[in-house]
């Protein structure tokens, strides 16, 4: 008595024995099985990553950060004093660090207002004008914000504060300040 092998059993990837189907039918069955597996993997990925908080990146956040930090101040690209001050404050945050909760922290990092005051070098009127333009730029972007320090302290990293200083410099230049 000769034993013949049993026909292959259906599996998730090949639901019917391959000898009974044409090539097109086998390809269609394989495609359907792979689609089911991919959809299950996509759902599993969504479940595994649902707890990770994300916020969309703004193009200017990525473009504003230098690839390598520079140690010298950038050349003044704005002809107006308030715009130049805001640009220097932006550069100070890029190279010296950014902080929250204080004008200057123990490491020497500055908040937005602290960078403006440091770059104003004692000229209180110039610093006040720069802070006013910065607050106006902030309110254009975020609506009714109480003060520059309240916006500065609302973020966990320097992306938005850096972007706001850059936008305020452009605004001050457009106003001729």
Using CA atoms, how far apart are residues 22 and 41, in angstroms rounded to an integer? 29
Q: DSSP letter string over the chain?
A: ----PPPPPP-SS-SS-GGGS-HHHHHHHHHHHHHHHHHHHHHHHHHHHTTS---PPPHHHHHHS-SS--SSPPPP--SSHHHHHHHHHHHHHHHH-B-SSSSB-TTS-B-HHHHHHHHHTT-HHHHHHHHHHHHHHHHHHHSS---HHHHHTT-SSSHHHHHHHHHHHHHHHHHT-
Give the mean model confidence (pLDDT) for residues 31-60: 84
Q: Categorize the per-residue pLDDT at 1 as very low, low, confident or very high, splitting at 50, 70 and 90.
A: low
Strand partners, 110: 98, 104
Sign of CA dihedral 43, 44, 46, 47: positive
Q: Categorize the per-residue pLDDT at 67 as very low, low, confident or very high, splitting at 50, 70 and 90.
A: low
> Which pLDDT score is estimated for 31?
94
Give the mean model confidence (pLDDT) for residues 75-84: 82
* 102 close to 157: Cβ distance less than 8 angstroms: no
Give the mean model confidence (pLDDT) for residues 109-135: 91
Please state, as a whole number, how many other Cβ atoms lie within 10 Å of the Cβ of residue 95.
14
Domain ranges of the chain: 8-54, 59-175
């Amino acid at each position: 008595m000769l034993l013949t092998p049993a026909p292959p059993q259906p599996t998730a990837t090949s639901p019917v024995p391959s000898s009974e189907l044409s090539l097109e039918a086998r390809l269609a069955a394989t495609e359907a099985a792979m689609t089911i597996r991919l959809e299950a993997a996509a759902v599993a990925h969504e479940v595994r990553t649902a707890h990770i908080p994300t916020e969309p990146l703004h193009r200017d956040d990525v473009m504003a950060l230098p690839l390598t930090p520079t140690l010298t101040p950038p050349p003044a690209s704005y002809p107006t004093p308030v715009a130049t001050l805001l640009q220097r404050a932006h550069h100070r945050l890029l190279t010296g660090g950014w902080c929250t909760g204080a004008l200057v922290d123990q490491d020497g990092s500055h908040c937005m207002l602290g960078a403006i005051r440091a770059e104003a070098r004692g000229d209180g009127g110039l610093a006040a004008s720069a802070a006013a333009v910065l607050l106006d730029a902030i309110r254009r972007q975020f609506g009714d914000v109480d003060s520059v320090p309240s916006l500065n302290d609302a973020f966990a990293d320097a992306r938005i504060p850096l972007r706001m200083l850059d936008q305020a410099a452009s605004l001050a230049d457009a106003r001729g300040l």
